[in-house]
Amino acid sequence: MSKIAFIAPDKQLFLQGKKIIHELGLEDKVDVYLARLKRAIKLAKRLEKEDVDVIVCRGGTARLIMESDIRVPVVEIAITGQDIAQVFHESKKRTGLNNPRVSILAFKNMAYDIEVLSTILDVKLAIHPLDRIEDIPSKIEQLTKTDVDIVVGGIKTVILAAKKGFRTLRISSGDFSIRAAFLEAQQILLGRKIEKERAQEFKALVDYSIQGIISINHEQFIKVFNPAAERLLNVSAKEMVGQKISSVLSFISIEECLIEGKESIGQIAKLANKWMMFNHAPIIVDKKIIGAIITFQDVTRIQEMEAKIRNEVLLKKFHAKYQFSDIAGISSEMMETKRMAKQIALVDTTVLISGESGTGKELFAQSIHNSSQRKNGPFVAINCAALPPNLLESELFGYVEGAFTGATKKGKPGLFEMAHKGTIFLDEISEMDQYGQSRLLRVLQEKQVMRLGDDKYLPVDVRIVAATNKNLFEQIQKGHFRQDLFYRLKVLTVNLPPLRKRNGDIIYLAQHFLEHYRKLYLKQIDITQKAYEKLHQYNWPGNIRELMYFIERLVVIAKENLITEHEIGKYFDEVEFGLGEYDLTENTPSPSEEDIIISALAQCNSNITRTAKLLGIDRSTLYRKLRNYKIEVKKSY
C-alpha cells in the first residue's frame, strides 16, 4: 500500500496524473484511482483505514473529501489562471464567437480570478456557484439557450448540460498544476513521517512509563490512559478513554490548569489502599491551552526506589565522603599530621596509618584518597577484625561458582577487584591471620589477585591504605605479623596523635560536637569554661570517638541548660555500668570488663553497634574483646 493516493474524477485527469507520476519517479509512492464525488468519498474513507498519508484530488471531488470527516490531508490540484485562460480560448473556438456568453458551474475552490480573466479576454461570463453536488441539476435547469453560448464545468455538469442540448466544455488542469500537487504531497508525506515517528516515541514513553499518565482535552475528556494508570487505578483504558476525568479522579481540581495554565506538583491522595502522588500541567499548542496531562505514582514505590538507590550508592559505589577539611582540630600536632598526610596523598604508593582507637584513621584514609590522583575511582573499606579469617579471604579476593558450600551462582568479585583504579582501606590490619597476610603480600608484589576456587590471576590497579591500633613491630616479635608484609606496608606512614596529646583540641572538639548535637536534637545547652577545663583534664582513652559519644549523651540526657564542672563530674560518675573506672579501648582488660560487656549486650539486645557506642569503643574493638572473652552473642527479637 502506497502512502499517497491520487483520486482522479475523470479519465483525462487519470491519464494525465499517471504520466506526471512516471516523470517524477513516484510509481512506488502513489496509487492511482478513478472515482468522483460520492464514490470518491467512500474510497477516501477506506484509504484512511489503510493508513494512506496524503490524498491528491481536484475540483468538487477534492472539496467534498475535505469537507467530510476524513482525517487525511488532501492536496488539491489547483485550477490556475492559465487553465481558465485555456477554457476561454477553447470557448471562442467551439462557438466561433469573439465574445461568447460563457456560463460556469463551479465550486468555490474552482472559481478564483475567473472574472478578471474574462474581462481581459473579452468573454461574457456568468458564474453559477455550487455548494453541493445536488445543486448541479437545478442550476442547469435555470439556463436558457438564448442566454448561453457554452456551459463550462466539471464532468457531471458537462454530462447534464449536454443532455439539455447545450454546447459544453470541461475544465481541465495543466501538467504544471498536477506536478505541483504531487510535489506538495511529497513534502506532506515527509512531514507526516516525522510526525508519526514522534508520535511513536511519545507512545513508547507513555506505554512503558512506570508512572500513571492521563491526558485530557480542554473539555476534561480523557484522551490517553496508559498501562501504568490502568494498573495503579485498577480500571481499563478502554472504559476510561472518552470519559470525564472526574469519573476516575474526582478530587483533582483541574480547572485552574486548563484556564490559567497553573501547574500542580506533589499532591498526595489515598485511593483504595494506596497513597498516590499526583502532578498535573497544561498542554499548550501555539500559546493556547488545549488540555492537560496528569501523572501519578505509588508513594510506597517511590520510597522503595529511593531506599534502593541509597543502598546502591552506599554499598556498591564505594564513595569516600571525607576531605582533609572535615578533620577538625587546631593543635599544632594535628596541623602537622594533616600537612604530612596531604603530601603523602599525592604519591601513589602504599600508606600505613597508625594510632589508637578513636583517633580518626578512616577519616584520614578517605581524605588521602580524595586528595590523590585516584579520587575519581572507588574507595573500598573493610575492617579486618570484624570478619573471621575464611570470610575475610572470600570478601577480599572473591570466589568462583562452586568454590565452597553456599557460594553464589556466577561467583562474586572480591573487594580488590571492586577497588580497581581506586583505593582499598584495610582497617585493623594487625588482626589478619597469617594466610591472609601471605595472600595480601602477593597482591602488593604482583599487583594481581586470584579468586577462591579459580586457577587464574586477575590484574588489579589498587592503592592500599592500611591502618592499625597496635604496634606492628611488637606483633612481629610475637610472631603474629609477617615482617616482609610490614616493610611492604610501611612505605609511607601517618602516625595519628591521641587526643590527650593534642594541645587545645579537647575543648575545641567538645565545642564542635556540642554545636552539632544541639542542632541535631534541637536542645539549647551550653557548657561553662570551667566545665570545659574539667573535660580537658580527663585522659580520654577512647580518644575523639569517646569525646563525641560523651557530648552526644550529655546533650540527650542533661536536664540543665547550662552544664557546669559539677554536672560534668556527675555525668562522668553516672556512666553506665561504672565504665568511668575502666578503659575499654586497647589497654589491658580490667577484671570486671567481661561482666561490663555482658551487661551492655543485655541492655542493647545484643546489638553490636549500640553496645559499642554505649561502651565508648568501636565495633572492631568490641568484636575482638568478644573473641578474647569467648562471649557468644545471641540475638533477641
- Which pLDDT value is given to residue 587? 44
Between the alpha carbon of residue 346 and those of residues 114, 342, 491, the distances in Å are 89, 7, 14
Q: What is the DSSP string of 185-244?
A: HHHHHHHHHHHHHHHHHHHHHHHT-SSEEEEEETT-BEEEE-HHHHHHHT--HHHHTTSB
Average pLDDT of the residues in 212-239:
92
pLDDT tens string 108-157? 655 556 777 777 788 888 888 888 878 889 999 999 888 899 999 888 88
* pLDDT over 50 (residue 252): yes
pLDDT tens string 87-98? 888 899 999 998
Q: Supply angle C-alpha 310, 311, 315, rounded to 5.
A: 125
pTM, two decimals, is 0.47
The answer to whether 169 touches 152, Cβ cutoff 8 Å, is: yes
CATH architecture of 209-301: 2-Layer Sandwich (3.30)
Domain with CATH 3.30.450.20 in the chain: 209-301
Torsion of CA 53, 58, 59, 61, to 10 degrees: -50
CATH number of 510-629: 1.10.8.60
**Count of C-beta atoms within a 10 Å radius of residue 209:** 15
Q: Supply angle C-alpha 277, 278, 280, rounded to 5.
A: 160
Q: Supply angle C-alpha 384, 458, 378, rounded to 5.
A: 55
Between the alpha carbon of residue 49 and those of residues 44, 53, 71, the distances in Å are 9, 10, 10
Domain with CATH 3.40.50.10660 in the chain: 81-172
Between the alpha carbon of residue 121 and those of residues 84, 159, 620, the distances in Å are 10, 26, 108
CATH 3.40.50.10660 at 81-172, yes or no:
yes
Helix axes 332-345, 361-370, angle to 10 degrees: 40
3-class DSSP state for residue 303?
A: helix
- Which pLDDT value is given to residue 251? 81
Tell me the CA end-to-end span of the chain in Å, nearest whole number. Answer: 71
Q: What is the DSSP string of 451-486?
A: -BT-SS-EE--EEEEEEESS-HHHHHHTTSS-HHHH
Q: Supply angle C-alpha 600, 602, 604, rounded to 5.
A: 70
Confidence of residue 578 (pLDDT cuts 50, 70, 90): very low
Torsion of CA 195, 197, 198, 199, to 10 degrees: 80
Q: Which of 4-8, 267-271, 303-307, 530-534 has the lowest mean pLDDT?
A: 303-307
Average pLDDT of the residues in 67-84:
86
Domain with CATH 1.10.8.60 in the chain: 510-629
**Count of C-beta atoms within a 10 Å radius of residue 94:** 15
Between the alpha carbon of residue 567 and those of residues 23, 176, 290, 534, 547, the distances in Å are 103, 104, 70, 10, 16
The answer to whether 565 touches 533, Cβ cutoff 8 Å, is: yes
pLDDT tens string 259-286? 999 998 888 888 877 888 899 999 999 8
Domain with CATH 3.40.50.2300 in the chain: 4-77+177-189
CATH architecture of 4-77+177-189: 3-Layer(aba) Sandwich (3.40)
- Which pLDDT value is given to residue 573? 58
* Whole-angstrom distance, CA of residue 379 vs CA of residue 427: 13
What is the C-alpha R_g of the chain? 45
* pLDDT over 90 (residue 368): yes
pLDDT tens string 377-431? 889 988 888 777 778 888 888 888 765 555 555 678 888 888 888 999 999 999 8
- Which pLDDT value is given to residue 585? 44
Q: How far is CA 8 from the centre of its chain?
A: 52
Q: What percent of the chain is modeled with pLDDT above 90?
A: 41
Domain with CATH 3.40.50.300 in the chain: 324-497
3-class DSSP state for residue 88?
A: helix
* Whole-angstrom distance, CA of residue 73 vs CA of residue 52: 10
Q: How far is CA 208 from the centre of its chain?
A: 13
496 Cβ contact list (under 8 Å, min separation 6):
337, 353, 354, 355, 356, 359, 360, 361, 364
* Whole-angstrom distance, CA of residue 181 vs CA of residue 55: 10
* Whole-angstrom distance, CA of residue 181 vs CA of residue 6: 10
- Which pLDDT value is given to residue 586? 43
* Whole-angstrom distance, CA of residue 425 vs CA of residue 351: 10
* Whole-angstrom distance, CA of residue 295 vs CA of residue 282: 12
100 Cβ contact list (under 8 Å, min separation 6):
91, 92, 123, 124, 149, 150
For the domain made up of 324-497, give the CATH fold.
Rossmann fold (3.40.50)
- Which pLDDT value is given to residue 588? 42
pLDDT tens string 340-350? 999 999 999 99
* pLDDT over 70 (residue 592): no
* Whole-angstrom distance, CA of residue 102 vs CA of residue 203: 56
pLDDT tens string 163-188? 999 999 988 888 888 999 999 999 99
